[in-house]
Amino acid sequence: MSSVGEAERLAGRAERRRGALLAAPSFVYMILFFAAPLVIVLVYSFATRTSTGSTALADWNLDAYRKLGEPIVRNVVVRSVILAAITTVICLVVAYPFAWFCAMSSPTVRNLLLVAVMIPFWTNFLVRNYAWRLLLSSGGPISSFTEAIGLGETNLLFTKTAVVIGLVYAYLPFMILPLYASIDRLDRRLIEAGRDLYASGPQTFRRIILPLTMPGVIAGSILVFVPSMGAYVTPELLGGGKETLLGSYIVTQFLTARNWPVGASLSFVLMAVMLVSTIVYFRSGGKNL
């Protein structure tokens, strides 16, 4: 009897060793080329910027984090949060009826619509941003169109509006898909029950439909808000770098301003925001979506 137990124990140990061996190459790779870089960013965020613009790994301090409270940085953060919030709200308002329409359509139409949403999402990100730069450029299609119908020339490029349009365009599918998943799972009998009890349309929506599809609303909002906060390519190409947002500000700290500690601390804060949001996402039932 005991020899069987012993054999099982040995077999279990051999299994564990096999698993560890299989994981080892990627594990080592990820520690060396991902975890170590992450630790370096953290270390740098406590380092000192010298007068020449290089970084001294001495006199550890919280200056870089204190600098985040200064007006310049605070304005950048506030502006990024506002633009990301506007983007999220627009996506939500547009995507909710669209997702509802998908869920209520016949299976054929529904699949076509969902594929239609996914295709632009799979195309090259830079090209999608470029397409809007082309559309919004002065003398471009949108400007010619508004001129033709008598509204005069429009100059949207390099404005906040252009950045928001670009962000909505980039992340709208992230909102539609989780909303669709939660609306599709909605028990339609609850809506009928509400109607039987003389609930009006708006009442049914506010009291029954919205609470039941809240996981989709939360998941979609996080999936749009978070990447909008850290966006770099879209604000650079459509905002023209006029409206400095968080992503561009961080890049500037490294490539031109040469203030690595501030850049490092901001990147770290940005990542922390993402991490917390992701945890909220999973807690809100995001795993089921």
Partner 1 sequence: MSGSLSSRVSGALLRGNGAVVLLFLYAPIILLLVFSFSASRNPGQWGGFTTEWYARLFDDSRIQRTIGVSVRVALVSTVVATVLGTMSALALERFRFRGRKVFDALLYLPIIIPDVTMAVMMLMFFSQAFDALDALFGLGLAKGFATVVVSHVAFNIAFVSVVVRARVAGMDATLEQAAADLYANRWQAFRYVTLPLIAPGVLGGALLAVTLSLDDVVVTQFVAGPGSTTLPVYVFSLIRKGVTPTINAVSVIMLVASLVLVAGSVALQRASAARGQRQLRTQGGPS
Among 178, 235, 239, 263, binds partner 1 (CB under 8 A): 263
Nearest residue (CB) to partner 1, 2 versus 124: 124
- 139 touches partner 1 (CB under 8 A): yes
* Selected binder of partner 1 within 30, 151, 193, 214 (CB under 8 A): 30
The residue within the footprint of partner 1, chosen from 85, 199, 212, 233 (CB under 8 A), is 233
Q: According to the binding rule CB under 8 A, does residue 35 interact with partner 1?
A: yes
| Interface with partner 1 (CB under 8 A), residue from 177, 224, 237, 262 | 237
- All residues at 6 or more sequence positions from 154 whose CB lies less than 8 Å from its CB, including other chains: 142, 143, 146
Query: Cβ closer to partner 1: 163 or 169?
Result: 169
> What burial letters (b/e) apply to 45-62, b meaning 16+ CB within 10 Å?
bbbebeeeeebeeeeeee
Nearest Cα residue to 221 out of 170, 178, 161: 178
- The set of residues, in sequence order, having a beta carbon less than 8 Å from that of 28 and lying 6+ positions away, is none
* Residue 135 sits in the site that holds partner 1 (CB under 8 A): yes
Q: Which of 51, 106, 124, 256 binds partner 1 (CB under 8 A)?
A: 124
CA distance 253 to 64: 12
Q: Which is nearer to partner 1, 1 or 286 (CB)?
A: 286
Q: Residue 186: CB partners within 8 Å, gap ≥ 6? A: 103, 209, 212, 213
Contact map string, positions 69 to 108, toward partner 1, x by CB under 8 A: -------------------------xx-xx-xx--x----
Single-letter residue type at 2 = S
The answer to whether 174 contacts partner 1 (rule: CB under 8 A) is no
Q: Pick from 20, 62, 190, 280 the residue near partner 1 by CB under 8 A.
A: 20
Q: Which of 68, 161, 212, 254 binds partner 1 (CB under 8 A)?
A: 254
State the Cα–Cα distance between residues 265 and 140, nearest whole angstrom: 40
Distance CA 277, CA 220 (A): 11
CA distance 80 to 103: 33
CB of 135 to partner 1, least distance (A): 6
